[in-house]
Structure 1
Amino acid sequence: MGRSRYKFHEDHYPYFITSSVVGGLPIFMDPLITKMVLDALNYLQNESKVTLYGYVIMPNHIHLIVEDKELSRKLRAFKSFTGRVIIDYLIEKNRTELVADFKSKKLKNHRDSEHQVWQEGLHPKQIFTHKILQQKMEYIHFNPVKTGFVENPVHWKYSSAIDYKGGEGIIPVTLFQG
């Protein structure tokens, strides 16, 4: 399979990012695995200084709206780190079937690890207008509604939807002022 046509261009715009788990495995149904991703998103904000405007974590993928001058590198590190801690957790909990799935789904060109948690690529889409930002934010926040998990986006625990309605989500986000 060839490289993605999606690329990071100008670094002074936010990007809409989608990252999926290999094989569509619904690993984020496990709250401890989801917490690992949330903790890593917090680290991205606090230590790597990435601006996180919005997010949603679904059972087998995540959507982010983020901005940073070195976004590509930092998100690759995020995926590498979370992939490693997820595999370590699954091994520790003796979830051998999932570990085997992640081993069997690994692309041959990934030589630096025995397993692969995330699909290759980030599918970045540059957000260059406020209208596009609103569309993407609505898309990610309504993802759990569209899938039938909740009737109201603010009821999905693993999302920034509540932050945009004046509440406080599990992790902080930078509210987009545009």
Structure 2
Amino acid sequence: MIENIFKQERNSKMIEGEVYFWTDTIKDWYCVFENPLYKQVVLNTMKELVERKKVIIYAFVIMPNHLHIVWKMVQMNGKEMPYASFNKFTSHKIFEDMKSKSMSKLMSFKVDDQERKFRLWQRDPLAVLMDSKVKVEQKIDYIHRNPLQEKWSLCESPENYPYSSANFYMTGFDNFGFLTDYRNEFY
């Protein structure tokens, strides 16, 4: 069943008002999120986008070198979609920290690109349209079980991983202050 989850059409762009399962991966699979400060940058950025009513976040997990989010793009953030703002802001904050603490780490992200000197996120994140409650539930289950995979072994049960929405769905308490229960929107 899990194998079939990813055999869906990949969207290159998300559109307003639709819910997506989104996977964004760090360039060259570098484990940048082993640093708790960088996970906090991601959490703060998600919270700000929710507070500014740019996105609704239903579920997420931050893994060492990638993240998964089930979210809805509510409205543009100026001239760009909120996911683009998310990538820009997180990159800027993380690179700012690397520049002040470890130029050698920063240089791992150097690119020969007209747009930028450094790239944190790989190009073309995976965006899969969630057009049914069943799909949403499959993706949320996948997200919450991701830290348990043998490759990672980050926790013993989904709700014990602190960088995930699993505990929210188990207890109903939102430690992050930005989650929306999908069951309130998908009937």
The answer as to 2:146 corresponding to 1:143 is: yes
Could you tell me which of 22, 45, 65 is aligned with 2:50? 45
1:1-178 matches, cutoff 5 A:
6-8=11-13, 11-70=16-75, 73-93=81-101, 95-103=102-110, 106=111, 108=112, 110-146=113-149, 147-172=152-177, 173-177=179-183, 178=186
Equivalents in 2 of 1:85, 1:9: separation in Å?
24
Equivalents in 2 of 1:112, 1:40: separation in Å?
22
Change in CA separation of 1:101 and 1:144 when aligned onto 2, cut-off 3 Å: same
Equivalents in 1 of 2:64, 2:116: separation in Å?
23
Unaligned runs of 5+ in 1: none
1:102 alignment partner, SS class: coil
Residue 56 of structure 1: how far off its partner (Å): 0.3
Q: Deviations over 1:113-156 (max 9, x none)?
A: 21000011221100011111000000000000113111100011
TM-score normalised by the chain length of structure 1: 0.88
Letter in 2 for 1:112: E
Residue 69 of structure 1: how far off its partner (Å): 4.0
Change in CA separation of 1:5 and 1:143 when aligned onto 2, cut-off 3 Å: closer
RMSD: 1.9
Contact 2:33-2:65 at 8 Å conserved across structures: yes
Identity %: 26
Unaligned runs of 5+ in 2: 1-8
Residue 97 of structure 1: how far off its partner (Å): 1.9
Number of corresponding residues: 170
Contact 1:18-1:122 at 8 Å conserved across structures: yes
Equivalents in 2 of 1:115, 1:70: separation in Å?
28
TM-score normalised by the chain length of structure 2: 0.84
Equivalents in 2 of 1:59, 1:170: separation in Å?
20
Residue 98 of structure 1: how far off its partner (Å): 1.1
